[in-house]
């Protein structure tokens, strides 16, 4: 009795929030309803006694996938008027795709055959003291280990593919070579100079920077200046050569 | 009396509520005094006095702060999403409380001694990111939004290494039940054979709770106060309590996974006189002290350093350690054979 009430509560909220995912006007609200739907699905798993699946659903879908959804949706500047404009143009397309899917589903279900004695098939969970997590592990890592491994390989290929498609070297922004940074010593960073009165350190727009770490050890191009060491210990009187540095108006 | 509590439905409900209160009331008191302890400890480390006006040694400072927080006016920025704006701190706070349902304080003493306790903790702590992300978005403010995004990226990154560290612990235990995890450390605490993982878990816990030196989501020099910049009064207070309760939770996880939970260091006479819950509390307090110590000692990480540490250092290290653990256990025949121990 109690189980049934809980089941119907979860199921109702699940269906309602799934509907809201589609119909909510604000895309962020859609994703939040999606999260609610995931939660209720996890609740249904719990009611069914599959606690491992419920927790994995929450960890993977709510904790990782939906966070990335939310991340993207929040960063995108979605224009609602534009979307509605597109809706009218693409409505026939959408309807066509929906109809095809519906027809296929109808075809599939009309030929769906359920085995007669499905309930009497012995479950893999054999020993009574065994948790369903352990039983799941047995099935996945013992009986279907090759399928499991090939799933992993497919995911690996997808991951490498995504990286190959999106990773490209951009010569913008400052980057730091972490090994060289760790190799720095005080002698590299600090230079004692005798500065003539009234002249200052004229090179590099009035700034004096440690040769080793700033001009030599920085990743080439990441500072936007040509890495060219300034003669040490001798202030240069000419106009600043390393103009386009990041320290504001003194440069030019 | 015992029959009423254990065998009637109303009795069970009352019993569960009492159990929850027995965990939550000390937890909230602890949170209140952790804020004071943090200020006192940091003051001592920086040769200051810290709060010393309210009550002897400032012990009433926590309550003064609470009263101030409650009596202030709640300001909701214009253009903010009212429901989500108020929902976010509530979510953060209640998640930090919910996780305590499975923490065992003695052999079998947990509100819910479930089979998948570790996964439950992992699930709850991975939900913590929503409070921050929703708060950042619903505030309708650039700073809050940037803070929320930073927090989300940071927490998702460090969850990966936390998960892998937990997997290598689970390999050695053979059960997902927190009670079994503690009992598996009867002979040696996991912080000794798995010392590198202990350190990685602790540092990841710092990042997961957005504590210094990983407190970039609230980096006041760039983002004013990060994701909760628009919050005031009780809503801010809930965030504050949630953050400190999360620190308690993470310290609890460190204690249970690596420091032997309620078990004494050696199972001989003077140590076994002290009851288990006190050992657990002592371990949690030790971890919290290290949290504060770290905050008073280290400067804040830069964002690229933070991401590098998470993805390029901790992830490969914990992955390699997991494979090593599995290989070692298999080679020596120590691999626990599934199910309850």
Position A238 scores a pLDDT of: 42
Could you report the predicted ipTM of this complex, rounded to two decimals? 0.81
For the record, the structure tokens of B13 come out as 């409900």
C-alpha span between B32 and B14 (Å, rounded) = 26
Check if A221 contacts B (Cβ < 8 Å). Answer: no
Identify from A65, A131, A159, A172 which residue to disrupt to test chain B contact, counting B C-beta atoms within 10 A and taking the largest count.
Answer: A131
Check if A56 contacts B (Cβ < 8 Å). Answer: yes
CA distance to partner chain A, nearest, from residue B99 (Å): 13
CB A6 within 8 A of CB A49: no
Tell if the CB–CB gap between B127 and A62 is shorter than 8 Å: yes
C-alpha span between B40 and B48 (Å, rounded) = 9
Check if B330 contacts A (Cβ < 8 Å). Answer: no
Q: What is the pTM of this model?
A: 0.80
Q: Indicate the domain borders of chain A.
A: 1-76
Instruction: Indicate the helix (H) or strand (E) that contains A153.
Output: helix A145-166
What is the DSSP-derived secondary structure letter of residue B218? G
Tell if the CB–CB gap between B338 and A134 is shorter than 8 Å: yes
**How many residues would you count in chain B?**
341
Tell if the CB–CB gap between B114 and A131 is shorter than 8 Å: no
A182-191, B229-238, B318-327: range with highest mean pLDDT: B318-327
Query: Each residue's pLDDT tens digit in chain A (252 positions)?
Result: 778 888 899 999 999 999 988 888 788 888 889 999 998 999 998 888 888 888 889 888 888 888 888 888 888 766 665 666 677 778 888 889 999 999 999 998 888 777 766 655 555 545 666 777 777 887 888 888 899 999 999 999 999 999 999 888 776 666 777 887 787 777 777 777 777 777 666 555 566 666 665 666 566 665 544 445 444 444 444 444 444 444 433 333
Cβ neighbourhood burial of B167 (10 Å; 0-12, 13-18, 19+): middle
In 3-state terms, what secondary structure has residue A214?
A: helix
Check if A35 contacts B (Cβ < 8 Å). Answer: yes
Check if A78 contacts B (Cβ < 8 Å). Answer: no
Decide which of 1.20.120.1200, 3.40.50.970, 2.60.40.3080, 2.40.30.10 is the CATH code for A1-76: 1.20.120.1200
Tokens 């369903």 correspond to A132
Question: A199 vs B193, which has greater pLDDT?
Answer: B193
Q: Which residue on chain A is closest to B338 by alpha carbon?
A: A134
Identify from B132, B176, B217, B315 which residue to disrupt to test chain A contact, counting A C-beta atoms within 10 A and taking the largest count.
Answer: B176
* Chain B residues inside the 8 Å CB shell of A61: none
Check if A105 contacts B (Cβ < 8 Å). Answer: no
Q: Which of A222-226, B201-205, B274-278 has the lowest mean pLDDT?
A: A222-226
For the record, the structure tokens of B4 come out as 């009423």
Tell if the CB–CB gap between A32 and B340 is shorter than 8 Å: no
What is the DSSP-derived secondary structure letter of residue B100? G
Nearest to B116 among A51, A75, A129 (CB): A51
């Amino acid at each position: 009795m109690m189980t049934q009430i809980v089941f119907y509560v979860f199921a109702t909220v699940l269906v309602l929030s799934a509907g809201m995912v589609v119909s909510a006007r604000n895309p962020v609200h859609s994703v939040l309803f999606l999260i609610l739907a995931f939660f209720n699905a996890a609740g249904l798993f719990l009611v069914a006694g599959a606690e491992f699946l419920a927790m994995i659903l929450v960890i993977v879908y709510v904790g990782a996938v939906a966070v990335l959804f939310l991340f993207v949706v929040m960063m995108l500047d979605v224009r609602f008027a534009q979307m509605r404009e597109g809706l009218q143009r693409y409505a026939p397309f959408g309807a066509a795709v929906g109809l095809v899917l519906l027809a296929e589903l109808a075809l599939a279900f009309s030929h769906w055959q359920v085995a007669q004695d499905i309930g009497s098939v012995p479950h893999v969970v054999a020993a009574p003291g065994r948790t369903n997590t352990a039983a799941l592990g047995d099935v996945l890592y013992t009986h279907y280990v090759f399928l499991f491994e090939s799933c992993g390989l497919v995911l690996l290929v997808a991951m490498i593919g995504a990286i190959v498609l999106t990773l490209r070297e951009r010569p913008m922004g400052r980057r730091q070579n972490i090994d060289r940074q760790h190799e720095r010593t005080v002698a590299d960073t600090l230079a004692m100079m005798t500065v003539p009165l009234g002249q200052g350190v004229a090179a590099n727009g009035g700034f004096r920077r440690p040769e080793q770490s700033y001009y030599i050890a920085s990743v080439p191009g990441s500072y936007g200046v040509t890495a060219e060491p300034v003669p040490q210990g001798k202030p240069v009187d000419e106009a600043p050569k390393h103009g386009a540095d990041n320290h504001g108006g003194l440069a030019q | 009396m015992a029959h009423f509590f254990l065998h009637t439905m109303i009795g069970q409900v009352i019993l569960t509520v009492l159990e929850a209160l027995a965990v939550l009331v000390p937890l909230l008191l602890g949170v209140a005094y952790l804020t004071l302890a943090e200020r006192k400890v940091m003051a001592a480390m920086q040769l200051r006095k810290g709060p010393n006006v309210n009550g002897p040694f400032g012990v009433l400072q926590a309550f003064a702060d609470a009263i101030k927080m409650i009596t202030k006016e709640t300001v909701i920025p214009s253009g903010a999403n009212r429901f989500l704006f108020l929902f976010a701190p509530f979510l953060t706070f209640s998640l930090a409380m919910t996780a305590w349902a499975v923490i065992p304080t003695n052999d079998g003493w947990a509100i819910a001694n479930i089979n998948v306790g570790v996964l439950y903790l992992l699930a709850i702590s991975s939900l913590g990111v929503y409070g921050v992300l929703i708060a950042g978005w619903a505030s309708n403010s650039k700073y809050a939004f940037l803070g929320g995004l930073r927090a989300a990226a940071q927490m998702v990154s460090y969850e990966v290494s936390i998960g892998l560290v937990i997997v290598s612990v689970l390999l050695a235990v053979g059960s997902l039940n927190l009670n079994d995890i503690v009992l598996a450390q009867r002979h040696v605490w996991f912080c000794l054979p798995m010392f590198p993982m202990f350190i990685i878990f602790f540092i990841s816990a710092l990042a997961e709770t957005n504590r210094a030196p990983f407190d970039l989501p609230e980096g006041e020099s760039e983002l004013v106060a990060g994701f909760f910049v628009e919050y005031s009064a009780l809503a801010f207070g809930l965030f504050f309590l949630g953050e400190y309760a999360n620190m308690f939770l993470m310290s609890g996880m460190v204690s249970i996974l690596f420091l032997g939970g309620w078990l004494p260091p050696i199972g001989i006479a003077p140590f076994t006189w002290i009851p288990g819950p006190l050992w657990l509390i002592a371990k949690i307090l030790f971890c919290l002290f290290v949290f504060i110590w770290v905050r008073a000692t280290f400067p804040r990480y830069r964002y690229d350093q933070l991401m590098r540490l998470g993805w390029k250092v901790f992830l490969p290290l914990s992955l390699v350690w997991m494979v090593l653990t599995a290989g070692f256990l298999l080679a020596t025949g120590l691999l626990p054979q599934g199910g309850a121990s």
